[in-house]
Amino acid sequence: MNNVDEVVLNFSPGSLTLLNAILAVVMFSIAIDLKPEDFRRLAQAPKALLTGLVSQFLLLPVLTFGLVLATQPSPSIALGLILVAACPGGNISNFITHRAGGNAALSVSMTAFATVGAIFLTPFNIAFWGSMYAPTREILQATSVDPVAVAITVGFMLVLPLILGITLNVKRPDITRKIRNPLQWLSMGIFVAFVLIALAANWSLFLQWAGLVAILVFAHNALALGGGFTLATIMGLSQFDRRAITIETGIQNSGLGLVLIFAFFQGLGGMAVVAAFWGMWHILSGIGLASIMNRTEAAR
């Protein structure tokens, strides 16, 4: 059996370019739901938004580091967990929040703010928390990851489509009304299909290591969901807002994680398996949690 820290998954440069394009379309499909006044409204009552961003970019990385220290996984698996925690919330969180009866407007705005913040906070959290754990620090030193290059990648993949989507919604709302639902479903379908095709090319390696990371991913996702809910509760937010923050913290942009892994870590096996497994599991856990939450109407 190969050492998971030495396995490199097969992923061509052309496939990486295609994944970048798909994620840009997914982000664009979210952005056409937004208008500048959505940001101004949250700026006037920022408590829920700030709580969500703290949960996303501070609490989750801290909980992740605690999980890594407690379980001492293989270095590449540990760095995969840290990297996923450093990514902004995933786009499907908006859909799941709506299904859960939570504050979908807050969820979409959190995704937007987190996406912009990810230009700086994602490379910072990867570098900071990765360097705090000796085995992952060795991987970072060996790969010489440039935070500026990570920031540029995040910017082009997420922030540029966000700006274009908001601009289209402001200038031509008639167009965004027509394409909104079809584009969101189409982009998600294409993204899921692409991940499955990428996994098929590495299926034997994925199966070999999936069992090793499954329990860690289950625990990591539970910490994310539980951490988001607990912080929102401590801050005295309504049930309506708590649902959005819980789901936004527990649904990570694992697609961005895969892009960063293949672009900057050469498809390092443990990291890629963690991100791929996260990409499948958080959808199942999120939809399951939403179905439970939706049984009762959220108090506002």
CA neighbor of 101 nearest in space, from 295, 247, 299, 294 = 294
Residue in the block written with tokens 């230009």: 119
Position 59 scores a pLDDT of 97
Position 16 scores a pLDDT of 63
Task: For residues 175 and 173, give the distance between their C-alpha atoms in angstroms, rounded to a whole number.
Answer: 5
Task: Quickly count: other Cβ atoms within 10 Å of residue 37's Cβ.
Answer: 9
| 3-state secondary structure at position 236 | coil
Task: For residues 237 and 291, give the distance between their C-alpha atoms in angstroms, rounded to a whole number.
Answer: 21
Residue in the block written with tokens 């909104």: 180
Q: Which helix (H) or strand (E) holds 195?
A: helix 173-200
Task: Quickly count: other Cβ atoms within 10 Å of residue 185's Cβ.
Answer: 12
CA neighbor of 89 nearest in space, from 46, 36, 52 = 52
Position 66 scores a pLDDT of 97
Position 1 scores a pLDDT of 40
| 3-state secondary structure at position 8 | strand
Position 41 scores a pLDDT of 65
Exposure string over 103-117, b if 16+ CB within 10 A, otherwise e: bbbbbbbbbbbbbbb
Give me the domains of the chain, ranges plus CATH numbers. 13-293 (1.20.1530.20)
In tens digits, what is the pLDDT along the chain, a chain of 300 residues? 456 555 555 555 566 677 777 777 777 877 787 777 766 766 776 899 999 999 999 999 999 999 999 999 989 899 999 999 999 887 678 778 888 888 877 887 888 788 888 888 998 999 999 999 999 998 888 776 677 878 887 777 777 888 888 888 888 888 888 887 787 777 777 767 766 766 666 666 667 777 778 899 999 999 999 999 999 999 999 999 999 999 999 998 877 887 788 778 877 778 888 888 888 788 889 989 989 998 877 767
Q: Is 130 exposed, middle or buried (0-12, 13-18, 19+ CB in 10 A)?
A: buried
